[in-house]
Amino acid sequence: MCKCLICNGETKTLVDKQIKVTYSVCDNCGFIYKDIDYHVNLEEELKMYSFHNNSFESTGYVDIFVDLIKDYITPLNIMGKVLEFGSGPGPVLKELLIKEGYHVFDYDLFFNDNKEYLNHKYELITSTEVVEHFNNPLKEFATLSNLLEQGGYLVIMTRLRTMNTVEFLDWWYRRDITHISFYTLESLKVICNKFDLKIIKTNNTNIIIFQKI
């Protein structure tokens, strides 16, 4: 039995017979982590991304970001630098933000591994469908928090675990072999307490806005 990567609480093993993997489940904060023996390597992860149609040619994909900007980012009244963290092969959100007049940097482990982004502080960091891939969540959230200006915002998009473990074993989101970290709202609040963040808005489904305090 291992400790929870988020809160250091005790975990129990959850066996997924359908896709033949196991997870560590924290009863304290609710975080679920796919056991490391079932993580894919970077080559396999990159191969999976080649099947995604994450470009301006996918109108549904673009509409998700148009709505994200309109409903969640524009109301923040951002005037400073923006970082799109995990921007993907076609940085759609970055380009949409630039069209809206934002000064945007981007970083992606596979498609834009340029560490120059670490030399700046940001008023806004966006990270959409990224944090579920973190194999060391606290390290990654620490980096993101450190890159934020005081009062700055972190906007993430990831599916929150809102179901019990029985329902989790039927959840479509767990089927992506690159998804290894599954957060509850409670586990994100633990992260807030560790890195001087607070949650100021969430739709309780897949969008969470943090502010650096």
| Whole-number pLDDT of residue 82 | 98
Whether 189 shows a pLDDT value over 80: the answer reads yes
Number of domains in the chain: 1
Instruction: Tell me the percentage of the chain whose pLDDT exceeds 70.
Output: 96
Q: Is 118 inside any structural domain?
A: yes
Q: Is 3 inside any structural domain?
A: no
Q: Is 6 inside any structural domain?
A: no
Whether 8 shows a pLDDT value over 90: the answer reads yes
| Whole-number pLDDT of residue 60 | 75
CA distance 130 to 108: 10
Handedness of CA 76, 157, 137, 147 (dihedral sign): negative
Q: Is 117 inside any structural domain?
A: yes
Tens digit of pLDDT for each residue in 37-60?
999 998 888 887 766 656 556 777
Angle at 201 between CA 182 and CA 143, to 5 degrees: 55
Tens digit of pLDDT for each residue in 80-138?
999 999 988 878 999 999 999 999 999 999 888 989 999 999 999 999 999 999 999 99
Token couple for 65: 């970001």
Whether 212 shows a pLDDT value over 80: the answer reads yes
Q: Is 172 inside any structural domain?
A: no
Q: Is 132 inside any structural domain?
A: yes
Give residue 62's domain range. Answer: 40-159+186-212
Q: Is 46 inside any structural domain?
A: yes
Q: Is 10 inside any structural domain?
A: no
For residue 153, give the CATH number of its domain: 3.40.50.150
Q: Among 12-21, 42-51, 133-142, 196-205, which is the least confidently predicted range?
A: 42-51
| Residue-by-residue DSSP string for 22-70 | EEEEETTT--EEE-GGGPPPHHHHHHHHTT---STT-HHHHHHHHHHII
Tallying the residues shown for the chain, one arrives at 213
